[in-house]
Structures are given as C-alpha cells and as structure tokens.
Amino acid sequence: MRTFYFLLIALFFSINIGAQQNFEEAMQKGLSDMENIQSLEDFVEIANFFERVSVAEPNEWLPAYYSAYVNVILAFKTQDMEEKKAYLGKAEVLIDKAMETNEKESEIHTLKGMYYQAYIGLDPMNYGQLYSGKAAACFNDALEYNPDNPRPIYLQAISVMHTPEQYGGGKQRACPMFNQASEMFTHFKPEKPFYPQWGADQCEQYLQSCTETAQK
C-alpha cells in the first residue's frame, strides 16, 4: 500500500515537473529558434509560438514579452504601413498583459519604450510629438526598477542618434550613451534563465560607427 501511494505521489510530481519542464523546453526552443531566423515567416512563427506559450502560462511574463518583442521587430521589418500598425497593436496588447502581472519588471518597461519608438518611426511628424515623451518616460521607469539594465540606455541612445542636433540630438550626444550602455552590457547578468539579453551586439556596432567618425 505504501509503495502504491509513493508511486502515485511520484507520478504526480513527475507530471508537475513535466509541466515545468515543458515551459523550460518551450522557452529554450523559442529562444534558440530566434537565433536562427532566416525569413519574415520565421519571425511570424516565433511570435506565434511565444503567444501560444503565453496563453498556456498566464503567470509567466517572458512568453508575452518575447512575442511582443518579435512583433515590434516585425513592425520595423515590414513595409506596409497598415501591417506595421497591426503588428504594433498586437505588441501593445502583449506588453500590457505582461505588465499586468509584473509591473516592476524593468525589461517590460524597456520594451514599451521600444514600442513607442517604433510608432514614432511610422510617422515622425505626427507621432513624434505624441510619443517621444512617453518613450522617454518608459525608459525612465525601466531604469528606476533596474538601474543596471543597459537596454533602456542603449535604446535611448538610438533615439538621440536620430534626433537632429538642434533638438538636443546627434552623434556627439549619442556616442557617450552607447559607450555607457556597452559598459553596462559587459557587466549585465540576467536575473534568471531566459531573461532578455539582446542588444549588446547592436550596441557595439553603433559604438564602432562612433569611433570611425571620430577617427575621420
């Protein structure tokens, strides 16, 4: 009889562990797929994949976060204006969903800022006025929740880079920020497995273009 209960309990646990394993496997699969993206369709598939995981695991913020992240990237990659807006609309829903359960997660605020940046990119004349303050506010909040997160600094640097000098932008102001972000990237350790790690390589590229101009 004891064995029977023991086995049942073991079985129960194995199922539970299985669920946790499923989640970890799914995250592993999604993130490794993300590194091997070939085409726009692959982006769509990954966004869809993480969305499915986010629906199955309503208490985890990472799947919604990654699905939103890929949707923002899709908005940058596609050409059609309506499609871009549609991807951003999807991203917003997912970000808000992630934010609901994890309001204090710096990475989610960072992503929301990136979402506003993408919106500004659609029509800078109109959306610039509406959203540049909002993007800045998100990065501000992201740093408040985690001062060591390099991504808000890196994304802000990109904004500064693309802002004309007259409005307080330009390379001269952006490069020290890329430098700061790059420094922070080298020390950055994600809190837990699967936490966001992107941005370091792109930041280095920007930094390189900074040093190139400096040499000229």
Q: Interface with other proteins by CB under 8 A: which residues?
A: 1, 3-4, 7, 11, 22, 26, 41, 44-45, 47-49, 51-53, 55-56, 82-83, 86-87, 89-90, 100, 103-104, 109, 125-126, 129-130, 133-134, 136-137, 140-141, 144-145, 164-168, 173
**Shortest Cβ 36–other proteins spacing (Å):** 16
Tokens describing residue 36:
């091997």
Q: Nearer to other proteins by C-beta: 26 or 175?
A: 26
**Shortest Cβ 10–other proteins spacing (Å):** 9
**Shortest Cβ 127–other proteins spacing (Å):** 8
Q: How far is CA 34 from the centre of its chain?
A: 12
For the packed helices 106-122 and 150-162, what is the interaxial angle rounded to 10 degrees?
A: 20
**Shortest Cβ 137–other proteins spacing (Å):** 4
**CA–CA distance, 153 with 110 (Å, rounded to integer):** 9
DSSP assignment string, 136-205: HHHHHHHHHH-TT-HHHHHHHHHHHHHS-GGGT-SHHHHHHHHHHHHHHHHH---SSTT---TTHHHHHH
**Shortest Cβ 55–other proteins spacing (Å):** 7
Q: Nearer to other proteins by C-beta: 45 or 204?
A: 45
Q: How far is CA 159 from the centre of its chain?
A: 16
Contact 85, 122 (CB under 8 A): yes
Q: Nearer to other proteins by C-beta: 54 or 182?
A: 54
Q: Nearer to other proteins by C-beta: 79 or 166?
A: 166
| Phi, psi (rounded to 5 degrees) for 64 | -65, -40
Q: Nearer to other proteins by C-beta: 59 or 186?
A: 59
